[in-house]
Amino acid sequence: MTGRALLSVEDVAVDLPTARGNLRAVDHVDLALAPGRTLGIVGESGCGKTMLSRAILQLLPKQAKLAGRVMFDGQNLARCDEPALRKLRARSLAVVFQDPMTSLNPVLTIGTQLIETLQEHLALDLGAARKRSAELLAAVGIPAPEQRLAQYPHQLSGGMRQRVAIAIALSCEPRLLIADEPTTALDVTIQAQILDLLAREQRRRHMAMILITHDLGVVAGRTDEVAVMYAGRVVERAPTQALFKRMQMPYTEALLGAIPKLDAAPHAPLPAISGRPPDPTRPLAGCAFAPRCRYADGHCASAKPPLSAAETPAHHYACFHPLRLAEGAGA
């Protein structure tokens, strides 16, 4: 990371009470993000990516317990009252959720949802808000924006709905945008268009962005830094190029290996990570990935590896047998 941090996540943990006991959804995570930079957060479903984003936005379930600090531009969001948070989420913090059919109001027109946002937070009059709404739709690649303002979400395709959600998120010129699996359930070509749109708007507005995904391929060319999460923890964090040049964590290697290959033979089985993630209500004494790791030994089962620095200070990993050593030992 370069420059002063706009966002600093400091030792954040999130606990949720369940019928089976306490569930540690986020396990003491530290992250920082400077203005204009993009951070990718990667991991399987259930690893804590979305819960971490909700902790940043202070949108956790009511029964959730948050520990640690979330500092945004020098302000501790965990100590802000609801009116202050509401103002911050509109003007400085924005989010694009993975399913626009649930984030958009199905009984309000696209225009109403955009215009209400602009009038509430930017105090624009109706005419100015309507003009700005059409400009925002055009900016995110929606044709005939004036006509779209009168339509309802169900009248648009999935890709168009996601573009509308992005337009609403960008409407108040946020300083930080969180995109949580923004291409879920979209056609592959539409996925690329949405990701390119986010990257273009991020650069044009010089805003910070967190891109949450389960696919390492998505973050490869679109982020400055990557944090890999597993069982609520960050298990590897590095500048994007450094991560792909010399990843250290076996889980990161397994995620990369699970990406389908274009040159694979027809009907070839899709690659997958063996085993299943641990039960978050039954935390393991050692490394959470040990039961699925081909390099694991007794030490891994009995002790939890700390997040340690690799050859470069910006690269950290949590593993007793990093790939450069495990492979050198012929494991």
Residue 330, pLDDT score: 46
Q: Is the pLDDT of residue 283 over 80?
A: yes
- What token pair was written down for 258? 């699970």
Mean pLDDT of the 81-102 span: 89
What is the pTM for the complete model shown? 0.92
Instruction: Inform me whether the pLDDT recorded for 231 exceeds 60.
Output: yes
CA atoms within 13 A on the CB side of 292: 19
**Is pLDDT at 266 greater than 80 in this prediction?**
yes
pLDDT tens-digit series, residues 203-228 = 999 999 999 999 898 899 899 999 99
- Residues 89-101 have a mean pLDDT of 88
* Predicted confidence (pLDDT) per residue in 110-119, tens digit: 999 999 999 9
pLDDT for 50-71, tens place per residue? 999 999 999 999 999 999 999 9
Q: Which of 27, 121, 30, 93 is nearest to 65 (CA)?
A: 27
Averaged pLDDT for residues 294-302: 94
Mean pLDDT for all residues in the chain? 91
Residue 185 has pLDDT above 80, yes or no: no
Calpha distance 58→310 (Å, rounded): 32
Cα 217 from Cα 192, distance rounded (Å) = 11
Give the pLDDT of residue 325.
62
pLDDT of residue 165: 94
Average pLDDT (20-38) is 95
- Give the pLDDT score at 260: 78
Banded pLDDT at 297 (limits 50, 70, 90)? very high
Q: Is the pLDDT of residue 229 over 90?
A: yes
pLDDT beyond 60 at 331: no
**pLDDT tens column, 132-142:** 999 999 999 99
How much is the pLDDT for 54? 96
- CA dihedral 101→107→112→114, nearest 10 degrees, is -10
Residues facing residue 95 across a β-bridge:
178
Partners of 225 in the β-ladder: 39, 239
